[in-house]
Amino acid sequence: MFDQHQDSTPILARATLNSMAAAEHQALWLIRDMGHFVTRSLATSALTLSQHDLKMAYSAAVAMIERDEMEELGRLLSDLPNLIDFLPDTEDGLSLLHIAARQGSPNSIALLVEHGALLEQGCGTSQSPEEGPLPGWTPLLIAARNRREDNALELLDWGADPAHADPINGDTPLHCAASLGMERLARRLILTDAPLNAQATWSSFDDELGHYTGNTPLHVAALGNQLDMAWLLIKAGAERDLAKDDLRSPLFYAAARGHTDVVEVLLASGANPNAREASTVGKITTDLTPLHYAVLNGHTHTVAMLLCYGANPTLVESNSRATALDMARRNDDAPIVALLNTAIKRDFTEEVFSGMDGQTITWQRRHYVEMTPFLENLLTECPVNSRGLLVLSDWLAEVLGAENRVHLARVYRALPGDRKQMEK
C-alpha cells in the first residue's frame, strides 16, 4: 500500500507540471502578442509550434534575427519550412529576409537564403516611406535605404538584382548608395552592371531649387554633396549632362545647393556650365543657368568656380530679362557683384579652393591663351569621353597644376565639330 502511494505521487506531480508548462507557454505567447516583447523562453518555445502557428513563429524568428541567434533560427526554419516565405498581414508586410536586410546581420541573410528565401520578393502595402516600406521593395532596396551596407553587399554576393527599382518612384540601390555616400556598395553595384543613368520619378521642393525630381544617381550625389560618389559615378561612365523634361543636369542641383566641390567634378568632366533649364511653374517656363541658381542663392564660391570653368555672366533669363549680374544687384550681394563684374571684363583672377585635390585654382586669361595650343593638341591626340576627360584633368592637375584642369575643360567645350562623334 505504501509502495503504491509512493508510485502515484510522481505521476500526479508530473501531470501538474505538464499542465503548468502548457499554461506558461500560452501566457508567454499572449504577452508577446499584447506587449510586442519576445523573451528568450518564448523564442526557444517556438521550436515546439505546429505548422499552423506561422504568425507566432514569425515573431519568434524576428527576435532571433534581432539577437543574431543563428542556431535557434536554423532549427526553427528546419522545423517550419513554410516560415521562410511567410508575409505577415501588416502594413509593411516584411518577410524574414526583409527583416534581416533592415536590422539583422549578414549571417542572418546567408542563413535565410540557404533555406530558400527569395532575393527579389517584394513587400509592403503602405503608400509612403514614413508609414513603412512601399510595395515592391526588395531586401536589397531595404538594406540600401537603411544604410546597411554590409547587408546589401551580402545580398549582392547571393545574386540580388542590382537593377531592381522601386516600382513606385524608380529608385534603385545605386540611388540609395549615392544619396547616403556608401562608396563600397556603389562600387560593387557598378561592377555588377547596375544602371548608372536610371531615372527616379519622385519629386520634392526646396527654396534653392524649387520643384525638382530624383533623376539619376549622379543627380542624387549632387543634391547630397557627395563628392567622392560623384567622382566615382562619372569615372564609371555616368552621363554628366543627362536631364529630364526640365533639362536640369546634375550641375543645376549642385550649383543651387552651393556644393562647390561637386560643381568642379562635374565641370572638370565636361559638364556644360551654360546649360539652360526648362522648368515650368504655373504658366511660366524659366530658362535659368547653373550660374543664375548659384547667384540667386548667394553661393559666392560656387559662382567663382562656375566662372573659372567658363560660365557666361551675360546670359539673359527669358522671363525676367535678367542676367546673373542683375540678380546679384537685386539681392544686394556685393561679393558676387564684384566677381561678375571682373568676369565680364575678362580679367577674372578669382582664386577658388578645389576640393578635388586640396589646391587653390586660379583662372587667368593669359594662362588660358598660353595653354590652349597644347591642350587642343592633347585632346586631338587623345579623344575622350566624359569619363576620360576627368581622368585627363586629374593628370593635368597633378603634373601641371590644378589651374590647367580648368583650361582643359574650357578648351574641350570650345572644340569645333560634332563632340558626340568625338566621344564615341
Pick from 9-18, 221-230, 286-295: least confident: 9-18
Closest CA to 84 of 94, 92, 95: 95
The percent of residues in the chain predicted with pLDDT above 90, rounded, is 64
Give the model's pLDDT for residue 311: 95
Pick from 63-72, 99-108, 262-271, 344-353: least confident: 344-353
Q: Grid coordinates in use for 327?
A: 540678380
| pLDDT of 21 higher than 80 | no
d(C-alpha 178, C-alpha 228), whole Å: 9
Closest CA to 101 of 114, 92, 89, 110: 110
| pLDDT of 416 higher than 90 | no
How confident is residue 26, by pLDDT bands cut at 50, 70 and 90? Answer: low
d(C-alpha 233, C-alpha 212), whole Å: 21
Give the model's pLDDT for residue 204: 92
Give the model's pLDDT for residue 283: 83
d(C-alpha 241, C-alpha 273), whole Å: 10
Closest CA to 168 of 221, 100, 122, 108: 122
Average pLDDT, the chain: 86
How confident is residue 89, by pLDDT bands cut at 50, 70 and 90? Answer: confident
pTM: 0.84
The sign of the torsion formed by the CA atoms of 359, 360, 361, 364 equals negative
Contact 275, 306 (CB under 8 A): no
Choice between 400 and 423, residue whose per-residue pLDDT is larger: 400
The tens digit of pLDDT for each residue in 376-408 reads 999 988 888 888 999 999 999 999 998 899 999
- Output Rg (C-alpha) for the chain, integer angstroms: 30
Give the model's pLDDT for residue 128: 53
d(C-alpha 327, C-alpha 329), whole Å: 5
d(C-alpha 222, C-alpha 252), whole Å: 9
Give the model's pLDDT for residue 1: 43
* Residues 297-335 as b or e (16 or more Cβ within 10 Å = b): bebbbbbbbbbbbbbebebebeeeebbbbbbbbeeebee
Q: What is the mean pLDDT of residues 142-158?
A: 97
Choice between 323 and 137, residue whose per-residue pLDDT is larger: 323
DSSP secondary structure string, 354-380? ETTTTEEEE--HHHHHHHHHHHHHHHH
Contact 405, 359 (CB under 8 A): no
The sign of the torsion formed by the CA atoms of 60, 61, 67, 71 equals positive
Q: What is the mean pLDDT of residues 46-74?
A: 82
361 phi/psi in degrees, rounded to 5: -105, 150
Give the model's pLDDT for residue 123: 83
Q: Are strands 359-362 and 351-354 parallel, antiparallel or unpaired?
A: antiparallel
Give the model's pLDDT for residue 417: 57
DSSP secondary structure string, 22-87? HHHHHHHHHHHHHH----HHHHHHGGG--TT-HHHHHHHHHHHHHHT-HHHHHHHHHH-GGGGG--
Q: Which position has the grid cell 559666392?
A: 300
d(C-alpha 281, C-alpha 285), whole Å: 6
| pLDDT of 44 higher than 90 | no
Choice between 92 and 359, residue whose per-residue pLDDT is larger: 359
Give the model's pLDDT for residue 356: 86
Choice between 357 and 162, residue whose per-residue pLDDT is larger: 162
Give the model's pLDDT for residue 46: 44
d(C-alpha 145, C-alpha 152), whole Å: 10
Give the model's pLDDT for residue 38: 43
Helix (H) or strand (E) holding 202: strand 200-206
Pick from 14-28, 288-302, 374-388: least confident: 14-28
| pLDDT of 47 higher than 60 | no
The tens digit of pLDDT for each residue in 260-270 reads 999 999 999 99
Angle at which helices 300-308 and 250-257 cross, to 10°: 140
The sign of the torsion formed by the CA atoms of 294, 298, 302, 304 equals positive
The tens digit of pLDDT for each residue in 162-205 reads 999 998 899 999 999 999 999 999 999 999 999 999 999 999 99
Which of 34-38, 111-115, 119-123, 212-216 is predicted most confidently?
A: 111-115
Give the model's pLDDT for residue 90: 75
Residue 319 to residues 212, 280, 303, 323: CA-CA distances in angstroms? 20, 11, 22, 11
